[in-house]
Structure 1
Amino acid sequence: MVNMVNTDPRILRLILFILCSAGHVLCVEEFGKVGGNVTLKPLVTGKPESILWKFNNDKVVEFEDERERWFQFKGVLDNNTGVLTLKELKKGNSGPYEAEILIKGNLVNTKFTLQVMDAVGVPTISCKVADDEKITLTCSVDSSVGPVKTTWSGPDGPHEGKTVIVSKDTKNESVYFCTASNKVSKESAPEFTLKDCYSPGPDSVVPIVIGVLVAVAVVLILGILAVVYREKIKTYLPVSSR
C-alpha cells in the first residue's frame, strides 16, 4: 500500500485524474482537517443491497447481508444511503477512496480523493518603514500547513497576497486586518493600526533599558560614596562640648 501521509497535493490530484480517467465513474475531491471529521457522499438513489468502501484498494468498511464490518479507520456508515463519515482524521487518511454500492442488482462506483491537512494558525502582522517612508505590511503564518491564502482589508480596500504596501500619505490611525485560510480553516490576525509601525520595537527598547539601569547604578554608587565620605570626615571633626 502506498504511504499517503506526506504526499504532495499535486500528486493526489494527479492520482484522482488517473483514477477518474480509468473508467466511467463519478470522482470527487474532498478536504478534511486533522482531528476533525469528513463525510463522503456517493451519489446514489435507492436503498443499498450491499456497500463496500475501500482505501488504496484495501477495505475500510463493508455492509452485506445486514451485517456491518470495519477493517480500518474510525467512522460511521449509513447503511441506508452508503454515506461514510470518517472521524478523528489523521494525515494517514489522505488518499483515494472508492465506494462500491449495489442497488437493484446494479453496482455503482464512486471514487474520491481525500486530502487531510492542518488548520491554519492565527497570523501575525509586521511592518517595515522604507527610506521613502512607504510602509510594507506583512502577514505571516505557519507555512507547514500547506498552501495558504492571505487577504487584507483596510482603508485602501481588499487586497490579496502576503504583503501590502501603504502610501506615506495614509493616516496613522488607519486600521488593517489580515486573514489566512486554506481548504479547511480560516483565521484572522488582531487588528493592526498603522501608528504601531512607529512604536519602539525590541531593538530600540534594549538600549533604553540599559541606559536606565546604568543611570540607576551610577546614582547608587554615588550615594554609597557620599555616605562613606561623610563617615570618614566625622573622624577628623572636633567633638563639640556642651
Structure 2
Amino acid sequence: MRKRSVFGLLVGLLLAVLDFSLAEDIMAYFKVGGELELKPTFTGRISNILWKLNGDLVAEWVEDIVSLDYYGRFKERTTLDTTTGVLILKKLDTSDEGKYTVEINNKVHPQRFTGKAITVVPKPDVWVQPLKCNADMDSCSLKCEKEKAAIEDAGPIVYEWKEDNGKWQQKGMNITISKTADAHIKTFTCKMKNPVSEEESDPKENVFYKEPTPPDVGLAVGITIPVVAAFILGISGFVFRKKILACLPKRQNGEATRTVNGNTLSSPPDGDVNVPLKENSDLTTEARESA
C-alpha cells in the first residue's frame, strides 16, 4: 500500500510539473473605455466553461445544466462564445486589470491572461541631434519622442520610420542619417504604436537632402532632333512613295525612257542618250532636204 501511495504521489507531481510547463502567461492590453478579447487555444468540443478574474466569477456555462450567465459588474458588457471559449469584455476600466483564468470541460486551461490598462500613444515629434546638425556634418541622429509624462502609461511602444512616402519599417526610437547614404531622401517621418493605438509625426526635413541634378537639356535636344527628323522622313517616304516613284525614270523593255518637249525618247541599255535639239517637226524637215 505504501509503495502504491508513493507511486501515486510521484505521478501527481509529474502531472503537476507537466501542467506548469504547459502554462502560458499572455499579456492582454486594453484602453480605458475600450474592449478586450481573450482567446484560449482550444479545438475540441466544449461542454462546460468557467471564466474568472482574480478568482472572482466572470461567466459560466454548463451544457444542459447551467444556462450562460454573467456575474456582478460583468453583466450587460460581457459576451462568451460557448463553442470557442472566447470571452469579450467592453467598457473597460482599471478595475478590469488582473489575472483572467478559464476552465474548459472541468479542467484549468494552461493559458492565463493578464489584463492591463494602457493609454493611447500621443502624436510624436522628430528631433534632430545635435540641435546644430547641418549639411556640413557627416551624420546626425533623429529621435522619435514625446515628453515622458505623455507616454508613461502607454505600455509597450514600438517605433516605425519611413523615408518620404515609402513603406513603414520598424526601428528603434533613434536612427542615424548620413550625408553620403541619405542625401536623396527629402523627409523622415516616425510613428509610435502600442497594442491599442498608433500616431505618426509630421515629416521632418532632411538637412542632407540634395535636389536631383536635372538632365543636360542641350544633349537631350541634340539626340532628339535627329531621331525625330529620321522618323518624319521615314513616314513621309512611306506616305508619298507613289509620287516619288512616278518621278523616277521609267524602263520599258530594259530601256530607260524620258520625255523632252512633249516627245518620249528611249536610250539604249548602256545609258547613252541622244537628246534631240529640235522638235519632231524640225527633224522631219531636215530629213527631207537631205533626201
TM-score (normalizing by structure 1): 0.58
1:57 shift after superposition: 0.9
Q: State how far apart, in whole Å, the 2-side matches of 1:70 and 1:25 are.
A: 29
- Structure 2 CA distance for aligned equivalents of residues 79 and 37 of structure 1: 19
Structural mapping, 1:3-14, within 5 Å: none
Kindly indicate whether residue 170 of structure 2 is the aligned counterpart of residue 162 of structure 1: no
Query: Which of 143, 153, 177 is residue 138 of structure 1 equivalent to?
Result: 143
Alpha-carbon separation, structure 2, partners of 1:23 and 1:165: 44
Q: Which residue of the partner structure matches residue 190 of structure 2?
A: 178
Contact 1:59 1:72 in 2 (8 A): no
Pair member with larger Rg: 2
The yes-or-no answer on 1:33 pairing with 2:33 is no
Describe how 1:1-242 pairs up with structure 2 within 5 A: 23=20, 26-34=23-31, 35-64=33-62, 65-73=66-74, 74-102=77-105, 106-110=106-110, 111-127=112-128, 128-130=131-133, 133=137, 134-141=139-146, 142-144=150-152, 145-154=154-163, 160-168=171-179, 171=183, 174-194=186-206
1:42–1:31: structure 2 CA closer, same or farther, 3 Å change rule? Answer: closer
CA contact (8 A) 1:176 1:193 kept: yes
Q: Tell whether the 8 Å contact from 2:161 to 2:191 is kept in structure 1 after alignment.
A: yes
Aligned CA distance change for structure 1 residues 45 and 165 (closer, same or farther; 3 Å): closer
> 2:116 aligns to what SS in structure 1?
strand
Alignment deviations for residues 210-235 of structure 1 (CA, whole Å, 9 cap, x no partner): xxxxxxxxxxxxxxxxxxxxxxxxxx
Q: Provide closer, same or farther for how the CA distance between residues 59 and 163 of structure 1 changes in structure 2, counting only shifts above 3 A.
A: same
Q: Cα distance, 1:100 vs. partner? A: 1.2
User: What is the deviation of 1:58?
Assistant: 1.1
- Counterparts of 1:165 and 1:43, CA distance in 2: 42
Identical-pair percentage = 28
Structure 2: gaps of 5 or more residues: 1-16, 209-291
Question: Which residue identity is paired with 1:44?
Answer: F
What CA RMSD, in Å, does the superposition of the two structures yield over aligned residues? 3.5
- Report Cα offsets for 1:184-228 as digits up to 9, x if no partner: 3332212222259xxxxxxxxxxxxxxxxxxxxxxxxxxxxxxxx
Rounded to whole Å, the distance in 2 between the matches of 1:23 and 1:135 is 49
Q: Identify the structure with bigger relative contact order (alpha carbons < 8 Å, sequence gap 6+).
A: 1
User: How does the TM-score come out when normalised to structure 2?
Assistant: 0.50
